[in-house]
A and B are shown apart, each in its own frame.
Chain A
Amino acid sequence: DIQMTQSPSSLSASVGDRVTITCRASQGISNYLAWFQQKPGKAPKSLIYAASSLQSGVPSKFSGSGSGTDFTFTISSLQPEDFATYYCQQYNSYPLTFGGGTKVEIK
């Protein structure tokens, strides 16, 4: 199985900050990497697929990059509605696997 290691597990940031989360795969997954946002008590929301492509309707303040084993997710200017938990996920092969999540909290 492909292990996904996400860091940090949590971070505190202020409105307007640039935030970066990293995700590492235990083996190469090309660009078959997705990012999701989840707010408390809500279903996950798909943000990015193919490592860097935005899902329809997702604002451009969110971006992703990487290929192979190392990936990054960035929020260019953190807004109040962005405080949530973010997950990476590989869909290169089954079983699909998720990173442990990064909780983005208000500083």
Chain B
Amino acid sequence: EVQLLESGGGLVQPGGSLRLSCAASGFTFSSYAMSWVRQAPGKGLEWVSAISGSGGSTYYADSVKGRFTISRDNSKNTLYLQMNSLRAEDTAVYYCAKDQSGLRWPDAFDIWGQGTMVTVSS
């Protein structure tokens, strides 16, 4: 069964850092691009960042560029999001999502994780 499991969320003070992880199973992880998508409380979905299957190419939303870093360890089947200089407006549930086919980039998402909550507050 294809599965994504996020972890690493929590409460952090403004200006602080946090690293999220997304453990993948049930598919050849290195063959697929992956993304992070977030959802602030009561709001809609916002794409945050994406990384190619090899990890050699990355994209970021303007709202996080220069503060967040996406990476992956294909030997561990794990996706990461390093979040620095956190702000109150970064408070959200963060989801990882898998690209569908590995044949096109970007591609549709087919699988989502269950999400991990990040709260930025003093």
A→B interface (CB under 8 Å): 32, 34, 36, 38, 43-46, 49-50, 55-56, 87, 89, 91-101
Contact = CB atoms under 8 A, between A and B. Distances in A.
A95 B47 contact: yes
A93 B50 CA distance: 12
Interface stretch (B23-31, B66-74, B83-91, B111-119): B111-119
Given A87-B45, A95-B59, A100-B44, A46 B115 contact: no
B110 A55 contact: yes
B62 A95 contact: yes
Contacts of A56: 110
Contacts of A43: 95, 112-115
Q: Which 6 A-B pairs have the closest CB atoms?
A: A49-B108, A96-B47, A94-B59, A91-B106, A98-B45, A43-B112
B112 A89 contact: no
A44 B95 CA distance: 9
A89 B45 contact: yes
B110 A96 contact: no
A34 B109 contact: yes
Nearest to A33: B108
Given A49-B100, A96-B35, A98-B44, A91 B107 contact: yes
